[in-house]
Chains A and B, each alone.
Chain A
Amino acid sequence: MMDYEPRGPTKSMGVSSYPVYYSVYLLATTAITIIVGYYILTGQGGRFDIGWLLSSISPYMWACLGIGLAISLSVVGAAWGILTTGASILGGGVKAPRIKTKNLISIIFCEAVAIYGIIMAIVITNNIGSFNQYTDSEDAVLKSYQAGYKMFAAGLTVGVCNISCGICVGIVGSGAALADAQNSTLFVKILIIEIFGSAIGLFGVIVSILQIAGSKIGTD
């Protein structure tokens, strides 16, 4: 986040893009106002039914979104962490080559986050089966819908936990590498900070396993 905070360009070049943003925003607001106004003023406000949408969406969509989020957010976190740490190790290693082997531990902590993500994705995938909404018993159909929501929640939990864990471990590892380059006695103590940072990723995995315990789409 530090590197991507949008600052203005140091030199002003070309045409300002604010009129484009403004006109798109104005168009979108006008369109939404007209559509919403039509529905409310003709007494059809009840048509805007989020509950209907959330309860009608197929449980497969929820489950698969959960799986996708589990692995993708975890990988984003791991990648960000490795990016941050790796850049610092490489930069510091130019002047102090002794740091390079010891600091690979930080990279391994970041990678573990990605492994948590893929384990959870595979565990969630194994619970997807097939069900027939019209011929299965009502109990099985309700359980399948419930399982869909649980899988979405599990995937989201592990994904968001891992993305923050990965970024955290990455930034700490980056600091560790540069501190180690300056003074090699600092590294061992800094590793404790990284261990705490890594534990929070594990919390996400545990909660996510509790969420999908015993839930299954379908009866086979």
Chain B
Amino acid sequence: MIPNVKMSQMLIFGVLFTFFMLVNTDKTPALIWSPNRPLSGLSPSYAGETIQADHFLDNYLTPLTTDPAQSLIVFVQNKLSVEDFTKHADVYNPNSDGGAFRNVKAAMDENFSVHLPEIASPTSAVQKLSTSFTGERVTVDSPTDLENMDLKPGTQYLIIISLKPISGKDEFSEFKMNDEDIGKCLHHLSRRGLQYSAVYTAEASQVSEEAVHSGRQLLAAEDAADNTTYNGTFYNVQNVLMYLQYVNLTITRKAIGAGKPRLETYQWNFKTPNITVEQCNDTINGSLDCVATPHGDYNALRINMTFDNSNGTANLRFTIKQTDNMGSQWKSTRGTVDLTPSSEGVTLTGMDVDYNIESIRGFCFHCARLYTKPSVRNFTSNATVYPSDVEKITLTMTRFQIEVSFNTSKGLGGRDFTNTSIPFSTDVWECVEFFTVPIWMGIISTLFLILILFYGLTMIANITTMDRFDDPKAKTITVTVNE
């Protein structure tokens, strides 16, 4: 324990540090260098200053592209942070050659260079630049692609090179490999006689858990341009109000041999799904009797949503039933998920999912992240993937809100959704309780121990001197002590 530092100060410092570390995942450094163009015109960054993406675009990237003979090369990684440099660039050795970043250090030392320690989402600035760039745009995945390309000196190019993603298993060698790729690219460009400025940056300073892809996912994601502004879409489909931002389906395969488990992730947004709602009646023997045309007399709703994008098609189906005859509470029953990938991958047919959607009359159901774990026990396999190869499958619905109502025709309450512009009810049934089960488990265990403690303290507090046989008027007892 550090002396002279109070416990409360340490606690506040710890909380603030964690908060800033969590908030900082999107801020990465950028290194800019150029062998022929002086960079003193670019303003240096102040200590602790975070450069916003627009500022980065206007003050750093755009000035590098004003000269029509000067190309711009951007090396983009999935993860880069100042800590990576500290750990892997051999910074405590005065004669170091840069550790894993040998070529980058040489480039920064020998050429005109600028370093910017903190930029908020630099890749969005790069994307904006690439949409407004007037010269030739080239996007490559590896230095060998660059070598095979025909680059004419004198033409202005914007070359975006996606380096291999850093997955965290052996960061030093991964950074070293990317650094060697950078070195090869720079060597190739200088051999061609191209005049260029280079930028080395990344998407984020930490890898998010499920985002280790290989290949061209970094800048070529669908809807990448409006990722920052898409907040979800609202639909009123046949008296069911729904709002959703994204649906993510993640399939984790078991590690095969010594390789790490492979992930397949799919993400669909809710902009143009195909939603059908059928009004059903729950018959006595448990089967659903559904009609496509709305007739107003129903006690269950079958909802079918189909999402489609270039990676694959998903079909989510679930039924919402009222749990009693008055429509005062409704729940979703076990539904299914189908997945058809457009290229190779796992095909799921009729996989059972418990969506855990429930609410009561007059309330809408909302979940910021609705996690469901489809049962891995049954899905159809294509030739290469079997159910025993899959460790888990997770279906996540981000920012999901739904409201249905039953028995409006019988006048028993519930809201009337025939007006298509009616908003959600202001009362919300959240999917996450205020105290979750782990919190309660902790409270129960702690309470039990505290009860024991209090019982012990009560016993100690009730210690009294034995004064039953004390008589102040009698002779005091003398005890002879034999040494």
Q: Which residues of A contact B (CB under 8 A)?
A: 4, 6-7, 9-10, 42-44, 46-47, 53, 56-58, 61, 65, 134-135, 137
Judge whether B329 is part of the interface by a CB distance below 8 angstroms.
yes
Closest to A68 in B: B448
- B361-375, CB under 8 A of A: which get 1 and which 0? 011000000000101
Q: Which residues of B contact A61 (CB under 8 A)?
A: 441, 444-445
Q: Which of B341-390 contact A (CB under 8 A)?
A: 360, 362-363, 373, 375-377
Contact between chains at A43 and B459 (CB < 8 Å): no
| Inter-subunit contact A46/B360 (CB<8 Å) | yes
Q: How far is the CA of A137 from the CA of B440 in the complex (A)?
A: 27
| CB-CB nearest 6 A-B residue pairs | A56-B437, A6-B462, A134-B373, A61-B441, A4-B459, A135-B376
**Bound Cα distance from A47 to B360, whole angstroms:** 11
Instruction: Give the complex CA separation of A61 and B221 in angstroms.
Output: 44
Query: Which secondary structure characterizes the binding site on chain A?
Result: loop
Find out whether the CB atom of B440 lies under 8 angstroms from the CB atom of A6. Answer: no
- The residues of B that contact A57 with a CB separation of less than 8 Å are 437, 440-441, 444
Tell me which residues across on chain B come within 8 A of A42, comparing CB atoms: 427
**A47 CA / B441 CA spacing, docked (Å):** 17
- In the complex, A58 Cα to B437 Cα: how many Å? 9
* B393: nearest chain-A partner, CB-CB: A134
Which of A47, A65, A135 is the one whose CB lies under 8 Å from B377?
A135
Contact surface of B with A, Cβ cutoff 8 Å: 329, 360, 362-363, 373, 375-377, 391-392, 427, 429, 433, 437, 440-441, 444-445, 448, 458-459, 462, 464, 467
Chain B residues with Cβ below 8 Å from A56 are 437
Contacts of A134 in B (CB 8 A): 373, 375-376, 392
Which residues of A have CB within 8 Å of B441? Answer: 57-58, 61
Give bound CA distance, A1 to B433, whole Å: 42
Minimum CB distance partner of A137 in chain B: B377
User: Given contacts A42-B427, A134-B375, are A53 and B459 in contact (CB under 8 A)?
Assistant: no
B458: chain A residues at CB < 8 Å are 4, 6
Which residues of A are found within 8 Å of B373, using beta-carbon distances? 134
Within the complex, the shortest CB–CB distance from A117 to chain B, in Å, comes to: 16
**A9 and B464 contacting across the interface, CB-CB below 8 Å:** yes
> B392 to A10, Cβ gap below 8 A?
no
Among B375, B427, B437, contact of A43 (Cβ-Cβ < 8 Å): B427
13 inter-chain pairs at a CB distance below 8 angstroms, sorted by A residue, are: A4-B458, A4-B459, A7-B464, A10-B464, A44-B429, A46-B360, A47-B433, A56-B437, A61-B444, A134-B375, A134-B376, A135-B391, A135-B392
The listed residue (B329, B377, B444, B445) touching A46 by CB distance below 8 A is B329
Please name all residues of chain A whose beta carbon is closer than 8 Å to the beta carbon of B429 when the two chains form the complex: 44
Q: In the assembled complex, which residues on chain A have CB atoms less than 8 Å from the CB atom of B467?
A: 10
Residue on A nearest B358 in the bound complex, by CB: A46
CB-CB under 8 A from A4, the residues of chain B are: 458-459, 462
B residues within 8 A CB of A58? 437, 441
Q: Give, as a whole number of angstroms, the nearest-CB distance from B115 to chain A.
A: 47
* Closest residue of B by beta carbon distance from A60: B441
A33 to B116 alpha-carbon distance, docked (Å) = 56
Docked pose: A58 CA to B373 CA in angstroms = 17
Which B residues lie within 8 Å of A53 (CB)? 437, 440
B360 in contact with A43 (CB, 8 Å): yes
Complex-state Cα separation, A135 to B375, whole angstroms: 7
- C-alpha spacing A135/B393, complex, angstroms: 10
Residue numbers in B under 8 Å from A7 (CB-CB): 462, 464
Residue numbers in A under 8 Å from B448 (CB-CB): 65
**Most chain B CB atoms below 10 A, which of A7, A42, A57, A135:** A135
Residue in B closest to A76 when the chains form the complex, CB atoms: B452
Query: Complex: how many Å from CA A65 to CA B447?
Result: 13
Instruction: Give the complex CA separation of A60 and B459 in angstroms.
Output: 32
Name 9 extra pairs, CB < 8 A, besides A44-B360, A53-B437, A134-B376.
A9-B464, A10-B467, A43-B363, A58-B437, A61-B441, A134-B373, A134-B375, A135-B376, A135-B392
Let me know if A43 and B440 touch, CB within 8 A.
no
Tell me which residues across on chain A come within 8 A of B376, comparing CB atoms.
Answer: 134-135
CB contacts (< 8 Å) of B433 on chain A: these are 47
Residues in B whose Cβ lies below 8 Å from that of A46: 329, 360
